[in-house]
Chains A and B, each alone.
Chain A
Amino acid sequence: MEFETVIGLEVHAQMLTDTKIFCGCSTKFGGAPNSHTCPVCLGMPGVLPVLNKKVVEFAMKMALATNCEINKSCEFARKNYFYPDLPKGYQISQYAYPLAEHGHILLDVNGEQTKIGITRIHMEEDAGKLMHDEHNPSSYVDLNRTGVPLIEIVSEPDMRSSEEAADYLKRLHEILVYLEICDGNMEEGSFRCDANVSIRPKGQKEFGTRAELKNMNSFRNVQRALEYEIKRQQYLVENGGTVIQETRLWDDAQGATNSMRSKEEAHDYRYFPDPDLVPILVDETWVEKIRKELPELPLTKRERFIKDYQIPAYDAGVLTADKALANYYEEVVKLCAKPKAASNWVMGDVLKFLNEEKRDIRQCPITAKSLADMIRLIEEGTISGKMAKEIVEDMYKTGKSPQTIIEEKGLVQITDEGELIKTITSIIEANPGQLADYRGGKEKLFGFFVGQAMKATKGKANPQLVNELLKKMLA
């Protein structure tokens, strides 16, 4: 039987506000346990939440960037459950009336666009963290993270493969980071994903029973977990079993998903509107103000790069995956007016160097101006492409400009025809056998002469000029 996979994703993204969602405490990661707390986020008796308006604006940005409708009125609700990392015994979230609904993003897979629906985006507060002592039957509670603002982005069950799900996640991540509302750090938990996955026989309209996957802390793990889970469900069904609705945890080391005990998920959260907070009213003026603040989004930028710079879709994709990288590239292009060459150098050497050291473009020692200068020097014939390969490496290591490096190493290209003719003449004279073979039809030997010429000039000869001269002189 052929199966079709159905995937929906729930993404939690931490908002990059300075302060928490309902109090004035810092949202900084790290810090001594419980140092970023106050009576409000500690859930002490009698304290009250006051909404951080920035969180609403950040969430609105995401809503607009994902084509959602922003509700004119939304409200916070309490999600009630007991856990030591939840000081109030309830999480302030949104339930019946979320901030935004009915959005979508476009995935661009091999030039084909797929629309993935976004069911809703809502705001909520994060919980704290528990630390367990292996040698001691006690646990420690760190409430620094309690009250850090999150948005939850819930997709429609529109994805049909683990690749598509991974792609959706990457696009969502990219948008959040572009908007500068989330740092996107998956290891620190700023970007978390849960997945709902089910299978159904191809052609069937009804959804199969879904499993909820949790505990996947990288793009790769999301994809691995989904792949494992799809196989597991298929195997189950093919062997006469049935999928049950449950929460399953991804185990990275084991490379498998395991069922959480059903007792732990038998929660009744008893949602009801939080009486300590008033409904949030969002008028058109506010929406427009936020819309005006939106930066150019990745997809738009990609399309513009393809059109304006005439670079391949692949290049545009790589260059726009990071806003800072895109800015760097555009700066280089602006200074050298060679978009394709700029793209090759940025995507090739520059990214290679950075990746080797796990640095990002903000930490790149080669300034956009230096790279542009180097590209101009190639175009002008001052240096060859081959020389440039060496130079750019030095630029990365030393942060020096290409001009400085060329000067220091005496790397200027030989473009003097007379000098080259002299060199070539002596090569021809020294290799009469090869000359005879070449003239006898062994055209491959042309390369031999080029190599000899470059060797004799220590690679400084202008290769184009060498080619031209050799063609004439060997004939």
Chain B
Amino acid sequence: MELHQLTIHELQEKIKSGDVSATQITQSVFSRIDTVEERVHAYIRLLKEEAMAAAAKADESIKKGDIKPLTGIPIALKDIVCTKGITTTCGSHILHNFVPPYNATAVEKLRAAGAVFVGKTNMDEFAMGSSTETSYFGPTRNPWDLERIPGGSSGGSAAAVAAEECIASIGSDTGGSIRQPAALCGIVGMKPTYGRVSRFGLIAFASSLDQIGPFTKDVEDCAIMMNVLAGYDPKESTSVSAEVPDYRQFAGRDIKGWKIGIPKEYFIEGIDTEVNAAIKKAIAVIEQSGGQCVEISLPHTQYCLAVYYIIAPAEACSNLARYDGVRYGLRATDVRDLLDMYKKTRMQGFGAEVKRRIMIGTYALSAGYYDAYYKKASQVRALIKRDFEEAFKNCDVILTPTTPTPAFKIGEKTDDPLQMYLSDIFTISTNLAGIPGISVPCGFTSGGLPIGMQFLASHFEEGKLIQIASAYEKNAKIEKRRPKL
């Protein structure tokens, strides 16, 4: 076993016992990157020098016996979280040269926990996409099949973990951007409750939906990452000061007597038969583990996609107004006047998908349309939230497929935005309701593509998600495979 293949908790033991050093781990990760990154393209920017320096510092701490939860662990950051002094592009031409003078709170927390930052990972431009194909820096490839997409928008962070180019990573999830790529890359990905992990320094796509979360190789690592990331941040008004439990203690607990809700609206036509079969199998595992699966209803499910594609673009068109070429980032040259500068900067700086969403959002907020679109969508959103509140009166967690299909081919859906949007159909409701969700691997297609399953819980019940996901992981005994790269 090479070091880059291991999990956080495995490496921690080796560090504690003195078997390996942080420098060795980091070297192992970078040699893996040297071998596979050219084919995967998980990163926009690698931070090898900084990482080696951080690893050396970590080794000094280790010698002194000062070992924090992530000391010496190579972690990748989605290029949507601001890193002080390190270019942060958000996958966009318009920010290709933006160097933040501050760290995102999540970055600060990871750093304080001893993490070694490997690099900034690729993503759909401004997190708008489900395939990482809209990145200004070119697509990321799925490590399981280089012809296919890794999912998105946090495709780079998911692929980096799956391809063992880091030990864990963070991404952001606005409508499924962590869970969907986690599923398509065969790893664990969690979207925490809205307000659980600070959004400060997370470049905003849709402020009321965005949430930072971890990608890991297994559920225990997810708990370790959540222990570091979760918590109140006075720099964010929507941050919640609810107590943060030790998520790790939920891993390994059984789920005897739990009720698992299976929403009938999520088993629709159009689900890939192999995905369907894998979920059925997973349900059986859950029942064998002592859980009781019950059919539930989330009656407003059919409106989720429509509501999402009004609220998210509306917030986005406002959030992205600051990219005007005045203070930072790209500024078009050869302009006649102010209006011309705005137009050319934004025309050259934004890609097609971002422009599409800015236009949709601008339309939805326009005078005369606001009530019919944004206001109506907000009202339906409240109903969707209530669906979940009702559902959680009758079950502990909800189980659904993460995505309707396994990873599709690069270019397959780029000309058909609606088809692309449908790949988030099972993940979007979570963000609208603000509840937490986790995607865990639940098998492979006959073609060897990973399949993911999603658990959802009530607000601030990330512990329950860790508990059921780890119980499933233990009992399902999914065969350990590594992508052939």
Q: Is the CB of B321 within 8 A of A89?
A: yes
Contact with A along B91-128 (1 / 0, CB 8 A): 00001001011101000000000000000000000000
Q: Is the CB of A270 within 8 A of B237?
A: no
* A270 in contact with B362 given A45-B82, A45-B90, A46-B100 (CB within 8 Å): yes
CB contacts under 8 Å to B, within A46-99, are: 46-51, 78, 80, 82, 84, 87-90
The chain B residue with its CB closest to the CB of A143 is B327
The chain A residue with its CB closest to the CB of B202 is A46
Which among A207-215, A274-282, A419-427 touches the partner chain?
A274-282
Q: Is the CB of A275 within 8 A of B208?
A: yes
Which among B51-59, B161-169, B265-273, B366-374 touches the partner chain?
B366-374
- Residues of B within 8 Å of A80, CB to CB, are 317-318, 321, 365
A47 to B98, CA, bound (A): 14
A45 to B97, CA, bound (A): 13
* A278 in contact with B370 given A89-B322, A272-B318 (CB within 8 Å): no
* A45 in contact with B235 given A39-B102, A272-B374, A275-B315 (CB within 8 Å): no
Contact with A along B58-82 (1 / 0, CB 8 A): 0000000000000000000000011
Q: Is the CB of B204 within 8 A of A46?
A: yes
Interface hub of B82, B95, B237, B315 (most chain A Cβ within 10 A) = B237
- Residues of B within 8 Å of A278, CB to CB, are 237-238
A84 to B337, CA, bound (A): 12
Q: Does B236 reach chain A (CB closer than 8 Å)? A: yes
The chain A residue with its CB closest to the CB of B328 is A44
A87 to B338, CA, bound (A): 14
Q: Is the CB of B203 within 8 A of A46?
A: yes
Q: Shortest beta-carbon distance, A210 to chain B, in Å?
A: 19
- Residues of A within 8 Å of B314, CB to CB, are 272
- Residues of A within 8 Å of B402, CB to CB, are none
The chain B residue with its CB closest to the CB of A130 is B338
- Residues of A within 8 Å of B206, CB to CB, are 275
Q: Does B88 reach chain A (CB closer than 8 Å)? A: yes
- Residues of B within 8 Å of A43, CB to CB, are 322, 327
Q: Does B408 reach chain A (CB closer than 8 Å)? A: no
Q: Does B179 reach chain A (CB closer than 8 Å)? A: no
- Residues of A within 8 Å of B328, CB to CB, are 44
- Residues of A within 8 Å of B90, CB to CB, are 45
- Residues of B within 8 Å of A141, CB to CB, are 326-327
Q: Is the CB of B104 within 8 A of A46?
A: yes
A49 to B374, CA, bound (A): 23
The chain A residue with its CB closest to the CB of B207 is A275
* A47 in contact with B365 given A276-B207, A276-B237 (CB within 8 Å): no
Q: Shortest beta-carbon distance, A280 to chain B, in Å?
A: 10
Q: Does B201 reach chain A (CB closer than 8 Å)? A: yes
* A45 in contact with B365 given A82-B324, A89-B322, A272-B314 (CB within 8 Å): no
- Residues of B within 8 Å of A276, CB to CB, are 204, 207, 236-238
The chain B residue with its CB closest to the CB of A40 is B235
The chain A residue with its CB closest to the CB of B94 is A45
The chain B residue with its CB closest to the CB of A84 is B326
- Residues of B within 8 Å of A13, CB to CB, are none
- Residues of A within 8 Å of B200, CB to CB, are 46-48
The chain A residue with its CB closest to the CB of B92 is A45
- Residues of A within 8 Å of B207, CB to CB, are 275-276
Q: Is the CB of A90 within 8 A of B318?
A: yes
A139 to B98, CA, bound (A): 22
Interface residues of A, CB < 8 Å — how many?
A: 29
Q: Does A268 reach chain B (CB closer than 8 Å)? A: yes
**By DSSP majority rule, is chain B's interface helix, strand, loop, or mixed?**
loop
Contact with A along B193-229 (1 / 0, CB 8 A): 0000001111110111000000000000000000000
Q: Is the CB of A39 within 8 A of B101?
A: yes
Q: Is the CB of B321 within 8 A of A45?
A: no
Q: Is the CB of B324 within 8 A of A48?
A: no
A43 to B100, CA, bound (A): 12
Q: Does A42 reach chain B (CB closer than 8 Å)? A: yes
Q: Shortest beta-carbon distance, A447 to chain B, in Å?
A: 76
- Residues of A within 8 Å of B324, CB to CB, are 82, 84, 89
- Residues of A within 8 Å of B101, CB to CB, are 39, 44
The contact of B201 among A47, A78, A88, by CB within 8 Å, is: A47
Interface hub of A45, A51, A84, A87 (most chain B Cβ within 10 A) = A45
Q: Does B342 reach chain A (CB closer than 8 Å)? A: yes
Q: Does B234 reach chain A (CB closer than 8 Å)? A: yes
The chain A residue with its CB closest to the CB of B80 is A46
* A48 in contact with B370 given A90-B318, A141-B326 (CB within 8 Å): no
A50 to B239, CA, bound (A): 11
A78 to B320, CA, bound (A): 13
CB contacts under 8 Å to A, within B412-463, are: none
A89 to B234, CA, bound (A): 24
A277 to B238, CA, bound (A): 6
- Residues of B within 8 Å of A47, CB to CB, are 102, 200-201
- Residues of A within 8 Å of B326, CB to CB, are 84, 87, 141
Contact with A along B293-315 (1 / 0, CB 8 A): 00000000000000000000011
Q: Is the CB of B366 within 8 A of A268?
A: yes
* A277 in contact with B81 given A80-B318, A89-B322, A270-B318 (CB within 8 Å): no
The chain A residue with its CB closest to the CB of B201 is A46
- Residues of B within 8 Å of A271, CB to CB, are 365, 370
**B residues apposed to A, CB below 8 Å:** 81-82, 88, 90, 95, 98, 100-102, 104, 199-204, 206-208, 234-238, 314-315, 317-318, 320-322, 324, 326-328, 338, 342, 362, 365-367, 370, 374
**A residues apposed to B, CB below 8 Å:** 39, 42-51, 78, 80, 82, 84, 87-90, 139, 141, 268, 270-272, 275-278
Can you list 15 A-B contacts (CB < 8 A)?
Answer: A44-B100, A44-B102, A46-B81, A46-B201, A48-B200, A80-B365, A82-B324, A84-B326, A88-B321, A89-B320, A90-B318, A268-B366, A270-B317, A271-B365, A275-B238
- Contacts A51-B237, A272-B370, A277-B238 aside, 5 further interface pairs with beta carbons under 8 A come to A45-B88, A47-B102, A48-B236, A270-B367, A276-B204
